[in-house]
Structure 1
Amino acid sequence: MRRARVVVVGAGVVGLSSAVCVAEALPFCSVTLLAEKFSPHTTSDGAAGILFPAEFPDVPVERQRRWFKSSFDHLLDIAQSQHSPEAGVMLSSGWQIFKDASADKKPFWSELVIGFRFMTDSELKRFPDHKFGQAFTTIKCECSSYLPWLEKRFRRAGGQVEQRKANSLQELSNSYDVIVNCSGLGSKLLVGDNELHPIRGQVLKVEAPWLHHFIKDADRKTYIYPGMHCVTIGGTRQEGDWRLEVDEGDTKSILERCGRLEPSIGKAKVLDEWVGLRPSRRNPRVEREAVQLQGRRVPVVHNYGHGASGVTLAWGTALDALGLVRQSLHEVLPQAKL
């Protein structure tokens, strides 16, 4: 009996997570990770990588909760293990602050992070423009370390890696039994998804070793995230903007806004400026469809469109994708040992 053949397209955090889940759970499959770009050249590499769920309007809250819990628990295990430094995964404590006191005080994820509570009046005094805040501990996952660590894990599970661009699903249809599409913004062309659009994000990496707590303004544009080797400050959320060049006006705005939240940022040395395009749509697409390719119906499992929540939800949606791959293989190869 031949081995089932699965290809995962895309090597960002969603693609690599999906590839690892499939390779480890289905050892009777031959799994190939195919992508044009690998770390350190993916969008995920520059992400701040701190776990904060956004809320998606048409995804049941229970499903969003499961995605986040699975991702949080997976990364918490790594953060509390000997792999933490190599994988770039660490605990991070701090504050999310709101200018509007009528904010969503207890979001669906409040019981899934560690030590969630409301900020006291004395804590809020340092943020005079803000009326309400939440304090908690979450996880920071630095993809420039995490992606190479995941790729090693994928190879240990027997996975194969191929670096080239997939121009169409047709070119993959004869070589694989199931296609897992994690191509992010590439899905606009690969599967003709016109709902997908970029949200341009610009961040700075700065040297500020005296900062130990994250500060996130609920406007979703201004944040300070200390990491293992530097502090990520940002940012921008520019919808439909395809520019990958650093914008000096954005750099100035980021330094000014973050300086209002944390005046000592003015003393930080800027180490790097980075721009990435978040693959955004109204809701992430995590589903399967049968696509007619070269005369046969090929199962395609989609897992893309996470926007700024790629790191936050990657492992949870990868587990959903694994379930969809398993269902697909039962249908196309009912005799396979799955």
Structure 2
Amino acid sequence: MSSVRVAVVGAGVVGFSTAVCIAEALPSCSVTLLAETFSPDTTSDGAAGILFAAKFPDIPLERQRRWFKDTFDHLLAISQSENSPEAGVMLSSGCQIFREVPEDTKPYWSDLVMGFRHMTDRELKRFPDHKFGQIFTTLKCECSSYLPWLEKRFSKAGGQVQQKKVNNLQELSSSYDIIVNCSGLGSKALVGDAEVHPVRGQVLQVDAPWLQHFIRDGDGKTYIFPGIHSVTVGGTRQEGDWRLGVDEGDTKSILERCTRLEPSLSKANVLATWVGLRPSRRNPRVEREGMQLQGKRVPVVHNYGHGGWGVSLAWGTALDAMRLVSQCLYEIPLQAKL
């Protein structure tokens, strides 16, 4: 009996996580990951990769909690293993601060990270423009290391990788029995999803080895995330903005805002500037559908639209996508399996 041929489209953190989950959990599948760009040229590569998440409006909170918890547990195990430096995963402690007391002082993931508590008045004194804060320990996953590490893990599980621009799903339908769409912003063209749109992010990598703790402004636009080799400072959240070039005005604004929160950054050298487009949507799309492709019905599983929360939810949504692929296996016509 030959294996069921599965194509995964997209080589960002969601695509590779999904491909690994399928290849490892479903040995009856032969999995090929196809993408035009791979690390270090994916959107995921520039992500700060710190784990917490916003709430999506139309997805049951229990499902969102499971996505976050599954991802956190998966990355925590890596951070506590010998693979931690190669995979680029580390524990990270710090604070999130707010100018006004937020509506939700205890987000849904507060019991899933470690040591979550509210800041004391003494701790808040450092940030005179802010009235409320949270302190916790979470994880930082640096995709420039994590994606090549996942690719190795995928190959070890028998997965194949192919560099190819997929222009439409029709071109895959003769070679594959199941298609998994993790194309992020590419889903706009690939499956005609008008709801997915870019949110432009610009960040800087700076050399500031003395910084050990992260600081994030609750509005999500200003943050300082120390990593393994450098500190990521940002950022921007520019809705519907497709510009991939570096904006010097944004660079200046980022440095000014971050130095206000952490004055010692004025002594840090800028190592690199990066721009990426987050694939945003009102809710991530993690579901399956049957599509008519070249006259036959092909199961398509979607897993995209995570916005700025791709790293925080990737493994959880990948497990969901793998379960959807598993359901499809039972429904594929027998000839595909023979």
TM interval, shorter chain, is over 0.9
Q: Distance in 1 between matches of 2:226 and 2:206?
A: 9
Q: Distance in 2 between matches of 1:100 and 1:322?
A: 41
Match of 2:278 in 1: 278
Task: Determine whether 1:29 maps to 2:8.
Answer: no
Number of aligned positions between the proteins: 337
Q: Distance in 2 between matches of 1:278 and 1:254?
A: 18
Task: Determine whether 1:207 maps to 2:215.
Answer: no
Q: Distance in 2 between matches of 1:29 and 1:192?
A: 27
Q: Distance in 1 between matches of 2:27 and 2:206?
A: 42
Q: Tell whether the 8 Å contact from 1:329 to 1:336 is kept in structure 2 after alignment.
A: no
Give the CA deviation at 1:333. Answer: 4.9
Match of 2:148 in 1: 148
Q: Tell whether the 8 Å contact from 2:18 to 2:319 is kept in structure 1 after alignment.
A: yes
Q: Which runs of 5+ in 2 are unaligned?
A: none
State the AA in 2 paired with 1:70.
D
Match of 2:197 in 1: 197
Q: Deviations over 1:184-209 (max 9, x none)?
A: 00000000000010000000000000
Task: Determine whether 1:86 maps to 2:86.
Answer: yes
Give the CA deviation at 1:276. Answer: 0.1
Q: Distance in 2 between matches of 1:199 and 1:102?
A: 23
State the AA in 2 paired with 1:315.
W
Q: Tell whether the 8 Å contact from 2:177 to 2:336 is kept in structure 1 after alignment.
A: no
Match of 2:292 in 1: 292
| 1:311-330 mapped onto 2 (5 Å cutoff) | 311-330=311-330
**Local SS of the residue matching 1:327:** helix
Give the CA deviation at 1:103. Answer: 3.8
State the AA in 1 paired with 2:208.
A
**Local SS of the residue matching 2:139:** strand
State the AA in 2 paired with 1:46.
G
State the AA in 2 paired with 1:187.
S
Match of 2:108 in 1: 108
Q: Deviations over 1:276-308 (max 9, x none)?
A: 000001000000000001111000000000000
State the AA in 1 paired with 2:80.
Q
Q: Distance in 1 between matches of 2:99 and 2:272?
A: 29
Q: Tell whether the 8 Å contact from 2:198 to 2:241 is kept in structure 1 after alignment.
A: yes
Match of 2:128 in 1: 128
Q: Distance in 2 between matches of 1:271 and 1:142?
A: 16
Match of 1:225 in 2: 225
Q: Distance in 2 between matches of 1:332 and 1:13?
A: 28
**Local SS of the residue matching 1:283:** coil
Q: Distance in 2 between matches of 1:287 and 1:109?
A: 23
Give the CA deviation at 1:93. Answer: 0.1
Q: Tell whether the 8 Å contact from 1:330 to 1:336 is kept in structure 2 after alignment.
A: no
Task: Determine whether 1:55 maps to 2:55.
Answer: yes
Q: Distance in 1 between matches of 2:142 and 2:9?
A: 22
TM-score (norm 1): 0.98
**Percent of matched pairs sharing the same residue:** 77
TM-score (norm 2): 0.98
State the AA in 2 paired with 1:192.
G
| 1:59-70 mapped onto 2 (5 Å cutoff) | 59-70=59-70
Give the CA deviation at 1:329. Answer: 1.1
Q: Distance in 1 between matches of 2:335 and 2:165?
A: 32
State the AA in 1 paired with 2:145.
S
Q: Tell whether the 8 Å contact from 1:204 to 1:232 is kept in structure 2 after alignment.
A: yes
**Local SS of the residue matching 2:39:** coil
Q: Tell whether the 8 Å contact from 2:242 to 2:277 is kept in structure 1 after alignment.
A: yes
Match of 2:164 in 1: 164
State the AA in 2 paired with 1:100.
E
After superposition, the Cα gap between the structure-2 partners of 1:326 and 1:239, relative to the gap in structure 1 and judged at 3 Å, is same
Give the CA deviation at 1:335. Answer: 9.4
Q: Deviations over 1:128-178 (max 9, x none)?
A: 000010000000000000000000000000000100100000000011110
Q: Tell whether the 8 Å contact from 1:177 to 1:329 is kept in structure 2 after alignment.
A: no
State the AA in 1 paired with 2:204.
L
Name segments (4+ residues, structure 1) moved above 4 Å.
Answer: 333-337
Match of 2:246 in 1: 246
State the AA in 2 paired with 1:195.
E
Give the CA deviation at 1:334. Answer: 6.0
The CA RMSD measured in Å over matched residues stands at 1.1
